[in-house]
Amino acid sequence: MREVAVLAAGGASVDQFALGYWMIALSLGISVLGAVVGLACIVHGARSVQFRLVWLVSAAISLGGVGAWLATSVAMLGLKVPGSAMRYDPGRLIAALVVSIVAVFAALLIIGRTPRLTLLLPGGLVLGLGIGVTHYLGIGSLEIQGSVGMTIWLASVSAVIGVITATATLWLFQTMRFPLARAATVLLFGVGVSATYYTALAALHFDVDRTAKVPGGVELFDFVFPMFVIGLLALTVPISAVLIAPDRRELAGPPKVRRPKLQPVR
């Protein structure tokens, strides 16, 4: 029999893995997939001039929309508050998605094309805080029969984890370019996003009132499943672009050597 992982919080025991622990692997896999595609778009954006903004937008959608927002929204499907109906505010869920994408895009504009510590730190701060705000908007969209509170120090820890994850991801990706380092980078991003989410969830506590009215809003599955399909389909666009985009380093080729013109012999 599966042991139920619960948070003893307020007046309710919150089951984080009501659908099973496999949801952790699914959420992590989605986050890593978004990171792989997003970081590949960043590489092409650094080499491109004409289409740089297009690559950065694709990276923001992949990293922020899929790697952060969609991954944690899927993880939220496993959340259950016993004794209470659960509904979600679609406005806050959409706001969380927008914040996540905008935060990634802004961070990429800040750090620029080449690694510089003076730009990396503010870029990591913007990205990390954006991920943190995304989690709190997503989790904060939850409405129950009763009230939801927050433990401030755990919320602060979650924000710190997000900033460390974002800064380390950007630093590793810009400075360590061999395949094993790139694999470690995307795994770090996925694990960091997951750690930020579960720490943010641990900061919440729920007081259930069974006599309260069933809250308004939508069932999370009814909102997340269409977004899951749309998100995975959306990834096919940057994936296709990455596969067919020319490698500008190869196209550039070796530098041309100018040969002196031979003067005719008189």
pLDDT tens digit string along 33-72? 999 999 989 888 888 778 889 999 999 999 999 999 999 9
- 81, 95 in Cβ contact below 8 A? no
Task: Identify the pLDDT of residue 246.
Answer: 61
Do residues 63 and 226 make contact, with C-beta atoms less than 8 angstroms apart? no
* Residue 131 vs residues 34, 202, 241: alpha-carbon distances, Å: 14, 16, 26
Q: Dump the DSSP string for 220-233.
A: HHHHHHHHHHHHHH
Contacts of 169-172 with CB under 8 Å at 24 or more apart are: 169/35, 169/124, 170/107, 170/111, 170/120, 170/123, 170/124, 170/127, 171/115, 171/120, 171/124
Rounded to two decimals, the pTM is 0.84
Residue 261: its pLDDT value, please?
A: 54
User: What integer pLDDT is reported at residue 6 of this predicted model?
Assistant: 41
Q: Is the pLDDT of residue 161 over 90?
A: yes
pLDDT digits (tens, 9 = 90+) for 238-258: 888 877 766 544 334 444 445
pLDDT at residue 192 is higher than 80: yes
Please give the Cα distance from 23 to 25 (Å, whole number). 5
Rg (CA), the chain: 22
> pLDDT at position 213, please?
87
Distance CA 189, CA 194 (A): 9
Higher-scoring residue by pLDDT: 119, 176: 119
Question: Looking at this protein, which amino acid is placed at residue 103?
Answer: A
Which of helix, strand or coil describes residue 211? coil
Token output for 71: 């991954």
DSSP E strands: which ranges in the chain?
A: 6-9, 12-15, 86-88, 142-144, 146-150, 204-208
pLDDT over 90, % of the chain: 38
The residue ranges of DSSP E strands in 73-117, in sequence order, are 86-88
pLDDT band with cut points at 50, 70 and 90 for residue 232:
confident
Is 134 within 8 Å of 103 (Cβ atoms)? yes
- Sign of the C-alpha dihedral computed for residues 60, 61, 64 and 67 taken in this order: negative
- Residue 2 is predicted with a pLDDT of 39
Instruction: Mark residue 112 as left, alpha or beta (left: phi above 0; alpha: psi -120 to 50; beta: remaining).
Output: left
Closest by Cα among 249, 238, 165 to 200: 165
Q: Under 8 Å CB-to-CB from 261, ≥6 apart: which residues?
A: none
Residue 226's alpha-carbon distances to 214, 222, 233, 240, in angstroms, are 24, 7, 11, 22
